[in-house]
Amino acid sequence: MSAGPGRVRAIARAALRRIAGMAATLLVTSFLVFSSLYLAPGDPVSFLIRGRSPNPAELVTLRHRYGLEKPFPVRYWNWLDGVLHGDFGQSYLFHQSVAAVIWSRLPSTLLLVGVSTLMIAVVGVGAGVVGALRHGTRTDSTVLLLVTLGAAVPSFVAAILLRSVLGVRLGWFPTIGNGTGTLDRLHHIVLPAIALSVTFMALVTRVTRSAMLDELRREHVEVALSRGLPRRTVVRRHVFRNALGPVVTVSGLLVSGMLVSTAIVETAFGMSGIGSLLVQSVDELDFQVVQAIVLLVVAAFVVVNTLVDLLYPLIDPRVAAAGSAR
């Protein structure tokens, strides 16, 4: 009876450690992101004056308006306090709050990442399972060939090929913009989602196939099959479930890669999202927007990987059992 509460306490302690580590990581990240303002070339004031030759009084007014005259520790504390309350400051380029600018672009990026994630989960995991179950056959060789090709195609190359062939030559899909209305948005998102997910699909397929093959070689699987249990039941209960651990882990790591790659894909397809906003803000030296987007990307990466760590014992009970036995 004591094994149950002991296991719960072990899981709770591990969860608290990971949450504390996540908070510490985000704090350090916020400091590094804010400090990057001083390492970046150029001066925000030079962008604000737009090449004019302002008088000293105007420079003082601009620095005071955006808090640029305050010492670094004070500026960092004020910025961090604002971030904790959802205030990322004012955009130099758009002359409105950074939160409002990001919020207006966020739905397009979330739709792109969501559709891409669905493609990765369905196609990547499905192809990996098929390749493992058909190991050594022509089907498996085809899966490996496609995985190799997919892993070698960067997002920008995939975007160019998809736009040229499926968009311009065949005219099946639009190649520019976000679209209007639900169906039109989904129609516009197909090519960007494929371009964004193709490399990650290949990686998930490879990891799934490898994990499935490892589980298929386990002794308990061979014993279950030798006792006459249906192969489909053994694969579903003992092979696929145990293989999900590595797949979920690598999927968490893909989050940061997908969020960063949106900058390339959204720019290539003329989408108005967070990725294209980041590129525009870097070009225009809109430091406040750049800081906010970078911090949000890192926060998403840290939070997702923390959630993966917390869910891992539920996916693979062997991990929880090993943790409670320590």
- Give 252 or 196, the one with higher predicted confidence: 196
Domain at 104-283, CATH class: mainly alpha
The lowest-confidence range among 55-69, 264-278, 311-325 is 311-325
Facing residues of 90 across strands? 97
Tell me, what's the pLDDT at 319? 53
- The DSSP code for 121 is I
Kindly report the backbone phi and psi dihedral angles of residue 42, in degrees, each rounded to the nearest multiple of 5, phi listed first: 90, 170
105-109 contacts: CB < 8 A, separation 24 or more?
105/272, 105/273, 105/274, 105/276, 105/277, 106/273, 106/274, 108/178, 108/266, 108/271, 108/272, 108/273, 108/274, 109/259, 109/262, 109/266, 109/273, 109/274, 109/275
Nearest Cα to 275, choosing from 283, 265, 284?
265
Tell me, what's the pLDDT at 3? 47
Tokens encoding 36:
């990057």
Judge contact between 108 and 272, C-beta under 8 A: yes
Tokens encoding 137:
């056959």
User: Per-residue confidence at 179, pLDDT binned at 50, 70, 90?
Assistant: confident
Q: State the Cα–Cα distance between residues 6 and 26, nearest whole angstrom.
A: 30
Amino acid at 88: F
Facing residues of 97 across strands? 90
Give the count of beta carbons closer than 10 Å to the beta carbon of residue 41: 5
Every domain range in the chain assigned CATH 1.10.3720.10: 104-283
Catalogue the E-assigned strands of 82-190: none
Task: Identify the sign of the CA torsion 106, 112, 113, 115.
Answer: positive
Tell me, what's the pLDDT at 285? 74
Judge contact between 44 and 93, C-beta under 8 A: no
Judge contact between 89 and 82, C-beta under 8 A: yes
Give the count of beta carbons closer than 10 Å to the beta carbon of residue 84: 9
Tell me, what's the pLDDT at 132? 86
User: Per-residue confidence at 272, pLDDT binned at 50, 70, 90?
Assistant: confident
The mean pLDDT value for 198-217 works out to: 87
Amino acid at 19: I
Q: Percent of the chain having pLDDT more than 90?
A: 0
3-state secondary structure of 39: helix
What's the burial of 29, exposed, middle or buried (CB within 10 Å: 0-12/13-18/19+)?
A: middle
Q: State the Cα–Cα distance between residues 51 and 57, nearest whole angstrom.
A: 16
Q: State the Cα–Cα distance between residues 133 and 117, nearest whole angstrom.
A: 23
Q: What is the pLDDT of residues 7-59, one digit of tens each?
A: 667 667 777 887 888 888 888 888 888 887 666 665 666 656 665 666 677 66
